[in-house]
Amino acid sequence: MKLLATKLVKRGHEVLLEPNIPEGRTFRKPDIVVCGEDGLTVVDIAVAGEELMQSVNAGKIRYYSAADVQENLRRILGHPADFPTSNEHAIFSS
């Protein structure tokens, strides 16, 4: 992740590695958040058995699409409430 973050920073992106994003009484901790001119992208990597890959991906989408998570992420990075966010997840088979 550090290599990816370094390359993204060199290209002018703001990058957060494993940020703690508040959600209710707990935190979400994606692997990396990339902030570009056109929006925020949450990147999270997981390893799962082949039969679980689709359900793990769906869970990640729900996990990071929660309104609290997106709102707090925008706040942390100083962006308005309508700043676009997206999720990119990589699920590898074990």
User: Which domain CATH number covers 32?
Assistant: 3.30.70
Helices 67-77 and 53-65 sit at what angle, rounded to 10 degrees?
A: 60
pLDDT tens digits along 5-43: 999 999 999 999 999 999 989 999 999 999 999 999 999
Look at the chain and report how many structural domains it folds into: 1
pLDDT tens digits along 41-90: 999 999 999 899 999 999 999 999 999 999 999 999 999 999 999 999 88
Task: List the domain range (segments joined by +) for residue 57.
Answer: 1-92
What global pTM score does this model have? Answer: 0.87
SS3 content of the chain, % helix, strand, coil (to 5): 40, 35, 25
Query: Are 19 and 33 contacting, i.e. CB atoms less than 8 angstroms apart?
Result: yes
